[in-house]
Homo-oligomer: A and B are copies of this chain.
Amino acid sequence: MASKRPASPVTIESLNPKVLKCEYAVRGEIVSVAQKLQQDLQANPGSLPFEEILYCNIGNPQSLGQKPITFFREVLALCDHPCLLGKKETCSLFSADSIKRALTILDQMPGRATGAYSHSQGIKGLRDTIAAGIEARDGFPADPNDLFLTDGASPGVHMMMQLLIRSENDGILCPIPQYPLYSASIALHGGTLVRYYLDEATGWGLEISELNKQLETARQKGITVRALVVINPGNPTGQVLAEENQRQIVDFCKKEGLVLLADEVYQENVYAPDKKFNSFKKICRSMGYGDKDIPLVSFQSVSKGYHGECGKRGGYMEVTGFSPEVRDQFYKMASVNLCSNISGQILASLVMSPPKVYLALSLGYASHGELVTQAYIQVGDESYDSYFSERDGILKSLARRAKTLEDAFNGLEGVTCNKAEGAMYLFPRIQLPKKAIKAAEEAKKAADAYYAIRLLKDTGVVVVPGSGFGQVPGTWHFRCTILPQEDKIPAIISQLTDFHKKFMDEYRD
Protein backbone atom coordinates (compact mmCIF):
# COMPACT_ATOMS: atom_id res chain seq x y z
CA MET A 1 0.00 0.00 0.00
CA ALA A 2 1.36 3.36 -0.97
CA SER A 3 1.83 5.72 1.98
CA LYS A 4 0.00 9.04 1.81
CA ARG A 5 1.74 12.25 0.90
CA PRO A 6 1.16 15.05 3.45
CA ALA A 7 -0.53 18.23 2.26
CA SER A 8 2.51 20.28 3.27
CA PRO A 9 5.68 18.24 2.97
CA VAL A 10 7.18 19.33 6.29
CA THR A 11 5.12 20.13 9.35
CA ILE A 12 5.99 20.04 13.02
CA GLU A 13 4.00 16.83 13.25
CA SER A 14 6.04 15.22 10.49
CA LEU A 15 9.45 16.05 11.97
CA ASN A 16 11.55 13.50 13.81
CA PRO A 17 9.92 13.34 17.28
CA LYS A 18 13.37 13.00 18.88
CA VAL A 19 14.19 16.46 17.59
CA LEU A 20 10.97 17.85 19.04
CA LYS A 21 11.78 16.30 22.40
CA CYS A 22 15.23 17.86 22.58
CA GLU A 23 15.65 20.99 24.69
CA TYR A 24 18.56 23.37 25.06
CA ALA A 25 18.09 25.98 27.74
CA VAL A 26 21.40 27.84 27.38
CA ARG A 27 20.11 29.28 24.11
CA GLY A 28 16.41 28.89 24.82
CA GLU A 29 13.56 31.36 25.32
CA ILE A 30 15.55 33.66 27.59
CA VAL A 31 18.12 34.30 24.85
CA SER A 32 15.44 34.99 22.24
CA VAL A 33 13.91 37.58 24.56
CA ALA A 34 17.35 39.08 25.22
CA GLN A 35 18.08 39.35 21.49
CA LYS A 36 14.73 41.04 20.96
CA LEU A 37 15.44 43.54 23.75
CA GLN A 38 18.88 44.23 22.32
CA GLN A 39 17.30 45.12 18.97
CA ASP A 40 14.84 47.38 20.79
CA LEU A 41 17.72 49.10 22.58
CA GLN A 42 19.54 49.68 19.30
CA ALA A 43 16.43 51.01 17.60
CA ASN A 44 15.29 53.16 20.54
CA PRO A 45 18.12 53.90 22.96
CA GLY A 46 16.79 54.86 26.36
CA SER A 47 13.50 53.02 25.84
CA LEU A 48 14.31 50.35 28.43
CA PRO A 49 15.23 50.60 32.13
CA PHE A 50 18.84 49.57 31.31
CA GLU A 51 21.46 50.52 28.76
CA GLU A 52 22.84 47.18 27.72
CA ILE A 53 22.13 43.46 27.78
CA LEU A 54 24.57 41.67 30.07
CA TYR A 55 24.95 38.11 28.88
CA CYS A 56 25.58 35.98 31.97
CA ASN A 57 23.87 32.99 30.38
CA ILE A 58 26.75 31.34 28.57
CA GLY A 59 30.44 30.66 29.10
CA ASN A 60 31.59 32.97 26.32
CA PRO A 61 34.32 35.16 27.85
CA GLN A 62 35.64 36.88 24.73
CA SER A 63 32.16 38.18 23.85
CA LEU A 64 32.34 40.10 27.14
CA GLY A 65 35.71 41.69 26.47
CA GLN A 66 38.23 39.08 27.59
CA LYS A 67 41.30 39.35 25.37
CA PRO A 68 42.75 36.25 23.69
CA ILE A 69 46.19 34.96 24.73
CA THR A 70 48.68 36.75 22.46
CA PHE A 71 50.93 33.76 21.82
CA PHE A 72 48.01 31.60 20.67
CA ARG A 73 46.82 34.21 18.22
CA GLU A 74 50.30 34.89 16.87
CA VAL A 75 50.70 31.23 16.03
CA LEU A 76 47.25 31.02 14.44
CA ALA A 77 47.85 34.10 12.28
CA LEU A 78 51.24 32.82 11.09
CA CYS A 79 49.87 29.37 10.28
CA ASP A 80 46.95 30.84 8.33
CA HIS A 81 49.11 33.29 6.40
CA PRO A 82 52.53 31.66 6.16
CA CYS A 83 53.71 34.26 3.60
CA LEU A 84 54.41 36.37 6.69
CA LEU A 85 57.14 33.97 7.71
CA GLY A 86 59.28 35.13 4.81
CA LYS A 87 58.98 38.85 5.58
CA LYS A 88 61.52 40.87 7.55
CA GLU A 89 58.81 42.89 9.35
CA THR A 90 57.47 39.69 10.89
CA CYS A 91 60.28 39.43 13.45
CA SER A 92 59.30 42.76 14.92
CA LEU A 93 55.59 41.93 14.94
CA PHE A 94 55.70 38.39 16.31
CA SER A 95 57.57 36.66 19.13
CA ALA A 96 60.42 34.34 18.22
CA ASP A 97 58.73 31.32 19.77
CA SER A 98 55.45 31.93 17.97
CA ILE A 99 57.39 31.96 14.69
CA LYS A 100 59.20 28.78 15.67
CA ARG A 101 55.98 27.09 16.76
CA ALA A 102 54.19 28.05 13.55
CA LEU A 103 57.03 26.60 11.48
CA THR A 104 56.89 23.36 13.47
CA ILE A 105 53.13 23.09 13.05
CA LEU A 106 53.24 23.87 9.32
CA ASP A 107 55.77 21.05 8.89
CA GLN A 108 53.29 18.68 10.51
CA MET A 109 50.50 19.40 8.05
CA PRO A 110 49.79 17.81 4.67
CA GLY A 111 50.76 20.46 2.10
CA ARG A 112 51.83 22.74 5.02
CA ALA A 113 48.27 24.00 4.68
CA THR A 114 45.66 24.93 7.27
CA GLY A 115 43.28 24.72 4.31
CA ALA A 116 43.65 20.96 3.86
CA TYR A 117 41.51 18.27 5.44
CA SER A 118 43.58 16.37 7.96
CA HIS A 119 43.55 12.78 9.18
CA SER A 120 40.05 12.09 10.49
CA GLN A 121 41.31 12.08 14.10
CA GLY A 122 43.32 15.27 13.58
CA ILE A 123 46.85 16.07 12.45
CA LYS A 124 49.22 13.47 13.82
CA GLY A 125 51.91 15.98 14.90
CA LEU A 126 49.35 18.01 16.83
CA ARG A 127 48.05 14.86 18.49
CA ASP A 128 51.64 14.06 19.50
CA THR A 129 51.89 17.48 21.14
CA ILE A 130 48.56 17.05 22.93
CA ALA A 131 49.53 13.56 24.10
CA ALA A 132 52.76 14.98 25.51
CA GLY A 133 50.72 17.67 27.29
CA ILE A 134 48.43 15.04 28.80
CA GLU A 135 51.45 13.04 29.97
CA ALA A 136 52.94 16.13 31.57
CA ARG A 137 49.61 16.88 33.26
CA ASP A 138 48.95 13.33 34.53
CA GLY A 139 52.32 11.67 34.88
CA PHE A 140 51.04 8.70 32.91
CA PRO A 141 51.51 7.84 29.23
CA ALA A 142 49.08 9.11 26.61
CA ASP A 143 48.82 7.71 23.09
CA PRO A 144 48.22 10.12 20.19
CA ASN A 145 46.18 7.38 18.52
CA ASP A 146 43.70 7.62 21.40
CA LEU A 147 42.97 11.25 20.57
CA PHE A 148 40.11 12.40 18.37
CA LEU A 149 40.23 16.14 17.66
CA THR A 150 36.77 17.67 17.50
CA ASP A 151 35.02 21.01 16.77
CA GLY A 152 34.64 21.81 20.47
CA ALA A 153 33.61 19.17 22.97
CA SER A 154 29.98 18.93 21.78
CA PRO A 155 30.53 16.83 18.62
CA GLY A 156 32.53 14.32 20.67
CA VAL A 157 29.68 13.97 23.15
CA HIS A 158 27.20 13.50 20.29
CA MET A 159 29.45 10.87 18.75
CA MET A 160 29.60 8.85 21.96
CA MET A 161 25.83 9.05 22.42
CA GLN A 162 25.31 7.97 18.82
CA LEU A 163 27.60 4.99 19.32
CA LEU A 164 26.18 3.84 22.64
CA ILE A 165 22.44 4.45 22.34
CA ARG A 166 20.47 1.83 20.43
CA SER A 167 16.97 2.63 21.69
CA GLU A 168 15.06 4.16 24.57
CA ASN A 169 16.04 1.07 26.56
CA ASP A 170 19.61 2.36 26.70
CA GLY A 171 20.24 4.84 29.49
CA ILE A 172 22.98 7.30 30.35
CA LEU A 173 23.54 8.34 33.98
CA CYS A 174 23.80 12.12 34.11
CA PRO A 175 24.22 14.51 36.99
CA ILE A 176 21.34 16.78 37.91
CA PRO A 177 21.89 19.68 37.57
CA GLN A 178 23.70 19.04 34.26
CA TYR A 179 24.89 20.93 31.23
CA PRO A 180 21.93 20.50 28.84
CA LEU A 181 24.14 19.25 26.00
CA TYR A 182 23.81 15.85 27.67
CA SER A 183 20.04 15.76 27.96
CA ALA A 184 19.74 17.22 24.44
CA SER A 185 22.11 14.68 22.93
CA ILE A 186 20.47 11.73 24.71
CA ALA A 187 17.06 12.91 23.49
CA LEU A 188 18.32 13.36 19.92
CA HIS A 189 19.72 9.85 19.87
CA GLY A 190 16.59 8.38 21.39
CA GLY A 191 18.03 7.15 24.69
CA THR A 192 16.90 7.54 28.28
CA LEU A 193 18.36 10.11 30.64
CA VAL A 194 18.98 8.43 33.99
CA ARG A 195 19.25 11.21 36.55
CA TYR A 196 21.50 11.18 39.58
CA TYR A 197 21.25 14.15 41.90
CA LEU A 198 24.21 16.13 43.16
CA ASP A 199 23.85 17.05 46.82
CA GLU A 200 23.55 20.81 47.11
CA ALA A 201 23.90 20.65 50.91
CA THR A 202 27.44 19.26 50.65
CA GLY A 203 28.59 21.67 47.94
CA TRP A 204 27.10 19.63 45.07
CA GLY A 205 28.61 16.40 46.34
CA LEU A 206 28.53 13.30 44.14
CA GLU A 207 27.46 10.40 46.35
CA ILE A 208 28.07 6.80 45.25
CA SER A 209 24.97 5.72 47.17
CA GLU A 210 22.93 7.97 44.90
CA LEU A 211 24.57 6.48 41.79
CA ASN A 212 23.79 2.97 43.05
CA LYS A 213 20.22 3.89 43.84
CA GLN A 214 19.51 5.45 40.44
CA LEU A 215 21.29 2.66 38.57
CA GLU A 216 19.25 0.04 40.39
CA THR A 217 15.98 1.88 39.77
CA ALA A 218 16.79 2.24 36.05
CA ARG A 219 17.69 -1.43 35.76
CA GLN A 220 14.47 -2.41 37.43
CA LYS A 221 12.67 -0.51 34.70
CA GLY A 222 14.50 -2.58 32.08
CA ILE A 223 16.96 0.16 31.14
CA THR A 224 20.47 -0.93 30.17
CA VAL A 225 22.62 1.82 31.61
CA ARG A 226 25.60 2.21 29.31
CA ALA A 227 27.58 5.13 30.63
CA LEU A 228 28.06 7.57 33.47
CA VAL A 229 28.57 11.26 32.71
CA VAL A 230 30.65 13.19 35.24
CA ILE A 231 31.31 16.91 34.76
CA ASN A 232 34.41 17.96 36.69
CA PRO A 233 34.77 20.85 37.48
CA GLY A 234 31.00 20.97 37.50
CA ASN A 235 28.70 22.79 35.14
CA PRO A 236 26.46 24.52 36.22
CA THR A 237 27.50 23.70 39.78
CA GLY A 238 31.19 24.62 39.89
CA GLN A 239 32.32 21.91 42.32
CA VAL A 240 35.75 20.24 41.93
CA LEU A 241 35.75 16.55 42.79
CA ALA A 242 38.08 15.24 45.48
CA GLU A 243 40.52 12.53 44.46
CA GLU A 244 38.99 9.97 46.81
CA ASN A 245 35.55 10.62 45.34
CA GLN A 246 36.95 10.14 41.84
CA ARG A 247 38.40 6.76 42.85
CA GLN A 248 34.98 5.69 44.08
CA ILE A 249 33.43 6.78 40.80
CA VAL A 250 35.98 4.80 38.81
CA ASP A 251 35.32 1.70 40.89
CA PHE A 252 31.58 2.15 40.49
CA CYS A 253 31.94 2.26 36.68
CA LYS A 254 34.28 -0.70 36.67
CA LYS A 255 32.02 -2.78 38.88
CA GLU A 256 28.86 -1.91 36.98
CA GLY A 257 30.33 -2.12 33.49
CA LEU A 258 29.73 1.50 32.53
CA VAL A 259 31.64 3.73 30.16
CA LEU A 260 32.94 6.73 32.09
CA LEU A 261 32.28 9.91 30.09
CA ALA A 262 34.41 12.55 31.79
CA ASP A 263 33.59 16.13 30.83
CA GLU A 264 36.84 17.82 31.84
CA VAL A 265 36.54 21.00 29.80
CA TYR A 266 36.98 23.22 32.87
CA GLN A 267 40.20 21.53 33.96
CA GLU A 268 42.11 24.81 33.95
CA ASN A 269 39.41 26.72 35.83
CA VAL A 270 39.99 25.91 39.49
CA TYR A 271 39.72 28.78 41.94
CA ALA A 272 39.52 27.15 45.38
CA PRO A 273 43.07 27.10 46.78
CA ASP A 274 42.48 23.75 48.49
CA LYS A 275 41.20 22.07 45.33
CA LYS A 276 43.08 20.55 42.43
CA PHE A 277 41.91 19.11 39.14
CA ASN A 278 42.72 15.44 38.58
CA SER A 279 41.85 13.88 35.28
CA PHE A 280 39.94 10.61 35.48
CA LYS A 281 42.63 9.07 33.30
CA LYS A 282 45.23 9.88 35.96
CA ILE A 283 42.95 8.54 38.67
CA CYS A 284 42.39 5.28 36.76
CA ARG A 285 46.07 4.79 36.06
CA SER A 286 47.07 5.66 39.62
CA MET A 287 44.65 2.95 40.79
CA GLY A 288 46.49 0.49 38.58
CA TYR A 289 43.73 0.27 35.98
CA GLY A 290 45.12 0.08 32.47
CA ASP A 291 43.61 0.35 29.04
CA LYS A 292 41.90 -3.04 29.35
CA ASP A 293 40.19 -2.32 32.64
CA ILE A 294 37.85 0.55 32.04
CA PRO A 295 36.40 2.35 29.02
CA LEU A 296 36.98 6.04 29.59
CA VAL A 297 36.41 9.07 27.39
CA SER A 298 37.79 12.42 28.50
CA PHE A 299 36.46 15.55 26.77
CA GLN A 300 38.54 18.70 26.53
CA SER A 301 37.76 21.97 24.75
CA VAL A 302 39.55 25.17 23.78
CA SER A 303 36.36 27.08 24.60
CA LYS A 304 36.92 27.03 28.34
CA GLY A 305 40.10 27.33 30.42
CA TYR A 306 41.64 30.77 30.95
CA HIS A 307 41.79 31.30 27.17
CA GLY A 308 38.07 30.89 26.41
CA GLU A 309 38.48 30.44 22.66
CA CYS A 310 34.82 29.44 22.14
CA GLY A 311 34.54 30.67 18.57
CA LYS A 312 37.42 28.50 17.45
CA ARG A 313 35.49 25.30 18.06
CA GLY A 314 38.50 23.21 19.04
CA GLY A 315 38.70 20.28 21.38
CA TYR A 316 39.53 16.64 21.65
CA MET A 317 38.42 13.44 23.28
CA GLU A 318 40.88 10.93 24.67
CA VAL A 319 39.37 7.51 24.18
CA THR A 320 40.82 4.60 26.17
CA GLY A 321 39.67 1.13 27.13
CA PHE A 322 37.79 0.10 23.98
CA SER A 323 38.52 -2.87 21.72
CA PRO A 324 40.19 -2.25 18.34
CA GLU A 325 36.94 -3.21 16.55
CA VAL A 326 34.97 -0.64 18.53
CA ARG A 327 37.71 1.94 17.95
CA ASP A 328 37.37 1.33 14.22
CA GLN A 329 33.75 2.44 14.53
CA PHE A 330 34.84 5.65 16.30
CA TYR A 331 37.24 6.27 13.45
CA LYS A 332 34.52 5.69 10.88
CA MET A 333 32.22 8.15 12.64
CA ALA A 334 34.98 10.76 12.71
CA SER A 335 35.60 10.13 9.00
CA VAL A 336 32.03 10.82 7.93
CA ASN A 337 32.61 14.48 8.85
CA LEU A 338 36.14 14.36 7.38
CA CYS A 339 37.96 16.26 10.15
CA SER A 340 37.56 19.05 12.67
CA ASN A 341 38.65 22.56 11.72
CA ILE A 342 42.42 23.00 11.58
CA SER A 343 42.61 26.30 13.51
CA GLY A 344 40.76 24.58 16.34
CA GLN A 345 43.16 21.65 16.09
CA ILE A 346 46.16 23.97 16.31
CA LEU A 347 44.66 25.78 19.26
CA ALA A 348 44.01 22.48 21.07
CA SER A 349 47.71 21.70 20.70
CA LEU A 350 48.70 25.17 21.97
CA VAL A 351 46.41 24.91 24.99
CA MET A 352 48.01 21.60 25.91
CA SER A 353 51.51 22.94 25.24
CA PRO A 354 51.72 26.65 26.04
CA PRO A 355 55.02 28.59 26.28
CA LYS A 356 57.33 27.10 28.89
CA VAL A 357 60.01 28.25 31.24
CA TYR A 358 62.39 26.41 33.51
CA LEU A 359 65.00 27.43 36.02
CA ALA A 360 68.61 26.69 35.12
CA LEU A 361 71.53 26.71 37.54
CA SER A 362 74.36 29.07 36.87
CA LEU A 363 77.42 27.39 38.35
CA GLY A 364 80.78 28.89 39.29
CA TYR A 365 83.79 28.29 41.48
CA ALA A 366 83.81 29.82 44.92
CA SER A 367 87.00 31.48 46.16
CA HIS A 368 88.00 28.24 47.93
CA GLY A 369 87.81 26.38 44.61
CA GLU A 370 84.56 24.52 45.19
CA LEU A 371 81.88 24.37 42.43
CA VAL A 372 78.80 26.20 43.71
CA THR A 373 75.47 27.43 42.46
CA GLN A 374 75.82 31.12 41.74
CA ALA A 375 72.30 31.85 40.61
CA TYR A 376 69.08 30.43 39.26
CA ILE A 377 68.34 31.83 35.87
CA GLN A 378 65.05 31.63 34.04
CA VAL A 379 65.38 29.97 30.66
CA GLY A 380 62.54 29.45 28.28
CA ASP A 381 60.29 30.73 25.56
CA GLU A 382 60.30 34.43 24.75
CA SER A 383 56.51 34.55 25.14
CA TYR A 384 56.48 32.94 28.55
CA ASP A 385 56.31 36.09 30.63
CA SER A 386 53.52 37.70 28.65
CA TYR A 387 51.72 34.37 28.42
CA PHE A 388 51.99 33.81 32.17
CA SER A 389 50.86 37.29 33.05
CA GLU A 390 47.86 37.09 30.68
CA ARG A 391 46.83 33.68 32.03
CA ASP A 392 47.41 34.57 35.65
CA GLY A 393 45.57 37.86 35.27
CA ILE A 394 42.51 36.13 33.84
CA LEU A 395 42.43 33.29 36.38
CA LYS A 396 42.93 35.59 39.37
CA SER A 397 40.27 37.92 38.12
CA LEU A 398 37.85 35.02 37.57
CA ALA A 399 38.49 33.87 41.13
CA ARG A 400 37.75 37.37 42.45
CA ARG A 401 34.60 37.67 40.36
CA ALA A 402 33.40 34.24 41.54
CA LYS A 403 33.84 35.24 45.17
CA THR A 404 32.24 38.67 44.77
CA LEU A 405 29.18 37.26 43.02
CA GLU A 406 28.90 34.35 45.47
CA ASP A 407 28.91 36.78 48.40
CA ALA A 408 26.39 39.00 46.68
CA PHE A 409 24.01 36.10 46.01
CA ASN A 410 24.32 34.89 49.57
CA GLY A 411 23.35 38.37 50.72
CA LEU A 412 19.97 38.23 48.97
CA GLU A 413 16.81 37.31 50.84
CA GLY A 414 16.07 33.58 50.45
CA VAL A 415 19.11 32.90 48.28
CA THR A 416 21.90 30.45 49.10
CA CYS A 417 24.84 29.91 46.82
CA ASN A 418 27.58 27.33 46.94
CA LYS A 419 31.14 28.36 46.18
CA ALA A 420 32.41 28.17 42.59
CA GLU A 421 35.45 26.00 43.25
CA GLY A 422 35.97 25.86 39.52
CA ALA A 423 34.37 26.25 36.07
CA MET A 424 32.68 29.56 35.15
CA TYR A 425 29.35 29.57 36.92
CA LEU A 426 27.43 30.10 40.10
CA PHE A 427 24.19 28.23 40.61
CA PRO A 428 22.37 29.98 43.45
CA ARG A 429 19.21 28.54 44.91
CA ILE A 430 16.25 30.87 45.36
CA GLN A 431 13.47 30.21 47.82
CA LEU A 432 10.63 31.68 45.81
CA PRO A 433 7.48 32.80 47.62
CA LYS A 434 4.33 30.76 46.91
CA LYS A 435 2.78 33.82 45.34
CA ALA A 436 5.61 34.01 42.79
CA ILE A 437 5.28 30.31 42.02
CA LYS A 438 1.59 30.80 41.46
CA ALA A 439 2.19 33.80 39.19
CA ALA A 440 4.65 31.67 37.20
CA GLU A 441 2.12 28.85 36.88
CA GLU A 442 -0.40 31.31 35.56
CA ALA A 443 2.16 32.52 33.03
CA LYS A 444 2.79 28.83 32.13
CA LYS A 445 6.43 29.10 33.09
CA ALA A 446 8.70 27.31 35.53
CA ALA A 447 9.05 29.55 38.57
CA ASP A 448 12.76 30.17 38.02
CA ALA A 449 12.15 30.92 34.34
CA TYR A 450 9.56 33.46 35.44
CA TYR A 451 12.11 35.01 37.78
CA ALA A 452 14.83 35.04 35.10
CA ILE A 453 12.61 36.67 32.48
CA ARG A 454 11.55 39.34 35.00
CA LEU A 455 15.20 39.90 35.90
CA LEU A 456 16.10 40.29 32.24
CA LYS A 457 13.29 42.70 31.48
CA ASP A 458 14.09 44.82 34.53
CA THR A 459 17.89 44.84 34.42
CA GLY A 460 19.18 43.47 31.11
CA VAL A 461 20.99 40.70 33.00
CA VAL A 462 20.60 37.31 31.25
CA VAL A 463 20.82 34.21 33.45
CA VAL A 464 19.59 30.67 32.70
CA PRO A 465 16.78 29.24 34.85
CA GLY A 466 17.75 26.17 36.87
CA SER A 467 14.92 24.24 35.27
CA GLY A 468 17.01 24.16 32.09
CA PHE A 469 19.69 22.15 33.89
CA GLY A 470 17.45 20.00 36.05
CA GLN A 471 17.14 20.34 39.83
CA VAL A 472 15.51 18.60 42.78
CA PRO A 473 11.77 19.07 42.18
CA GLY A 474 10.43 21.98 44.17
CA THR A 475 13.78 23.78 44.31
CA TRP A 476 14.56 26.77 42.10
CA HIS A 477 17.90 28.04 40.85
CA PHE A 478 19.54 30.01 38.11
CA ARG A 479 22.95 29.81 36.51
CA CYS A 480 24.98 32.99 36.30
CA THR A 481 28.40 33.09 34.68
CA ILE A 482 31.29 34.84 36.41
CA LEU A 483 32.44 36.26 33.08
CA PRO A 484 31.46 39.93 32.84
CA GLN A 485 34.59 42.07 33.14
CA GLU A 486 35.37 43.19 36.68
CA ASP A 487 34.36 46.81 36.15
CA LYS A 488 30.84 45.62 35.29
CA ILE A 489 30.39 43.43 38.37
CA PRO A 490 29.36 46.17 40.86
CA ALA A 491 26.60 47.37 38.54
CA ILE A 492 25.37 43.83 37.94
CA ILE A 493 25.26 43.18 41.66
CA SER A 494 23.45 46.38 42.42
CA GLN A 495 20.90 45.76 39.66
CA LEU A 496 20.38 42.18 40.79
CA THR A 497 20.02 43.25 44.40
CA ASP A 498 17.52 45.97 43.61
CA PHE A 499 15.55 43.68 41.35
CA HIS A 500 15.52 40.84 43.85
CA LYS A 501 14.32 43.10 46.63
CA LYS A 502 11.57 44.49 44.44
CA PHE A 503 10.58 41.01 43.28
CA MET A 504 10.43 39.68 46.84
CA ASP A 505 8.49 42.72 48.00
CA GLU A 506 6.01 42.13 45.24
CA TYR A 507 5.51 38.43 45.89
CA ARG A 508 6.37 37.91 49.56
CA ASP A 509 3.82 35.52 51.08
Please list the residues of chain A having a beta carbon within 8 angstroms of any beta carbon in chain B.
1-3, 5-12, 14-20, 22-24, 26-28, 35, 58, 60-66, 68, 70, 73-74, 76-78, 80-81, 83-84, 87, 89-90, 92-93, 110-111, 113-120, 151-152, 154-155, 158, 162-166, 169, 181, 184-185, 188-189, 216, 219-220, 222-224, 226, 256-259, 295, 303, 307-313, 322-323, 325-326, 329, 332-333, 335-344
Contact between B77 and A152, CB atoms less than 8 A apart: no
Contact between A19 and B337, CB atoms less than 8 A apart: no
Contact between A111 and B341, CB atoms less than 8 A apart: no
Copies of chain A in the complex: 2
Contact between A309 and B70, CB atoms less than 8 A apart: no
Q: How far is the CB of A1 from chain B (nearest CB, A)?
A: 6
* With A76-B80, A259-B9, A336-B22: A114-B312 Cβ-Cβ less than 8 Å: yes
In the bound assembly, the distance between CA atoms of A336 and B179 in angstroms comes to: 11
In the bound assembly, the distance between CA atoms of A151 and B312 in angstroms comes to: 11
* With A313-B340, A341-B344: A12-B93 Cβ-Cβ less than 8 Å: no
Q: What 8 A-B pairs come out closest when comparing CB atoms?
A: A63-B116, A62-B113, A311-B342, A77-B81, A313-B341, A27-B335, A89-B89, A62-B115
In the bound assembly, the distance between CA atoms of A166 and B163 in angstroms comes to: 18
Chain B positions within 8 Å of A84 at CB level: 77, 93
Q: How far is the CB of A317 from chain B (nearest CB, A)?
A: 15
Contact between A16 and B163, CB atoms less than 8 A apart: yes
Nearest B residue (CB) for A224: B3
Q: How far is the CB of A188 from chain B (nearest CB, A)?
A: 7
Contact between B113 and A311, CB atoms less than 8 A apart: yes
Q: How far is the CB of A462 from chain B (nearest CB, A)?
A: 13
Chain B positions within 8 Å of A27 at CB level: 120, 335, 338
Chain B positions within 8 Å of A66 at CB level: 111
Contact of A311 among B11, B116, B308 (CB under 8 A): B116
Chain B positions within 8 Å of A322 at CB level: 10
Chain B positions within 8 Å of A310 at CB level: 115-117, 338
Q: How far is the CB of A385 from chain B (nearest CB, A)?
A: 17
Contact between A151 and B341, CB atoms less than 8 A apart: yes
Nearest B residue (CB) for A344: B341
Can you list 12 contacts pairing A with B, beta carbon distance less than 8 Å?
A5-B257, A9-B257, A9-B258, A12-B325, A35-B119, A77-B77, A87-B93, A115-B307, A115-B311, A181-B336, A313-B340, A313-B341
Known: A22-B333, A26-B335, A185-B336. 8 other contacts (CB 8 A): A5-B256, A9-B257, A10-B226, A12-B325, A28-B335, A35-B119, A58-B117, A74-B81
In the bound assembly, the distance between CA atoms of A258 and B344 in angstroms comes to: 37
In the bound assembly, the distance between CA atoms of A387 and B503 in angstroms comes to: 59
* With A1-B222, A12-B325, A115-B310: A70-B83 Cβ-Cβ less than 8 Å: yes
Q: How far is the CB of A23 from chain B (nearest CB, A)?
A: 8
